[in-house]
């Protein structure tokens, strides 16, 4: 998973479940606990996530800061643009494949 996708997935997961732990984040996002730990530390150092104690034991709460919310929105905008470009490219490929299939059915060799 590319770093920006991991940042987005982590911010999104923390938004819905701020009292989660790194193992649960690892399972939800599908990357190793070590990678979650590294990415989470980077988010905290950049001021995108605030950490506080969440009651008993060593439980922590991860709250997305206003800066983190802005980062999440910026990443979402980038991903939307990327996905729209991919959709457009797939549309062009589908049109070409449909034309090739139509030609094949008419007995014309594919280009």
Which of 6-10, 56-60, 76-80 is least confident? 56-60
| Residue range 45-63, pLDDT digits in tens | 999 999 998 777 667 899 9
Averaged pLDDT of the chain: 92
pLDDT reading at 110 higher than 90: no
pLDDT reading at 111 higher than 70: no
For 34, phi then psi, to 5°, come to -60, -40
Alpha carbons 21 and 29: distance in angstroms, whole number: 12
pTM to 2 decimal places: 0.76
Alpha carbons 78 and 81: distance in angstroms, whole number: 5
pLDDT of residue 85: 96
Domains of the chain plus CATH, in order, are: 3-105 (1.10.10.10)
């Amino acid at each position: 998973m590319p770093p920006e996708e991991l940042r987005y997935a982590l911010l999104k997961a923390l938004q819905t479940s701020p009292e989660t732990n790194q193992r649960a984040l690892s399972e939800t996002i599908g990357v190793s606990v070590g990678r979650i730990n590294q990415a989470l530390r980077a988010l905290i150092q950049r001021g995108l996530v605030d950490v506080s104690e969440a009651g008993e034991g060593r439980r922590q709460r991860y709250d997305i800061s206003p800066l983190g919310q802005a980062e999440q929105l910026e990443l979402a905008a980038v991903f939307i643009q990327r996905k729209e470009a991919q959709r457009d490219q797939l549309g062009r490929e589908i049109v070409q494949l449909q034309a090739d299939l139509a030609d094949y059915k008419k007995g014309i060799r594919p280009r």
